[in-house]
Amino acid sequence: MKMILETKGLDTLSLALTKQHIVVQHNLDDDIIQHYMDMSFDTAEKYINDTLTDEVYTSDVDEFNTYQVKYKPNTVELYNLGVLVKEVDFNYTGMNLCLVLDGTEIYDEVKAYIVGKDSTSIKQGRLLMIGTSYKTRENEDFSNMKATSMATEFLFTMNESSVL
């Protein structure tokens, strides 16, 4: 049996908000703006050394009903045939997530979720990065070149990582 660890609602940055931020009212640059959005997403994940993507990993259960984990989920749910059975309590033993079960549960899938990261600071950092990329599409002055602005770095470091 596998456990699936997912994130919920961490990438809430929309094209509409991004265009509003960089003051673009036409659709001619939508492809390049979407590219900058994707780039900022990847950069944010690498910078905070954590994931913002939908599916993080799957992990097999061991004989003690524990799963080896890389991230600390907030919620663990049991599913049977794709239907939610119930949310269950859990604790940690080292790098293992241990389910607290009463023995009456019938389930074929376990889903764990990471919810409630500070997506506002990540979103703002990404908007700053996208705005800079859009404004300076060609970087001809290498003396002023910096990979990530100080404001973006600050906003990314405000995000408390859930990595064990």
Report residue 96 CA to chain centroid gap.
21
The beta strand positions in 51-108, using DSSP E, are 55-60, 66-68, 75-80, 83-93, 96-100
Instruction: Please give the Cα distance from 151 to 117 (Å, whole number).
Output: 19
Nearest CA to 117 out of 44, 25, 64, 43 is that of 44
- Residue 106 confidence (pLDDT) above 70: yes
pLDDT digits (tens, 9 = 90+) for 29-38: 999 999 999 8
- What's this model's pTM, rounded to 2 decimal places? 0.51
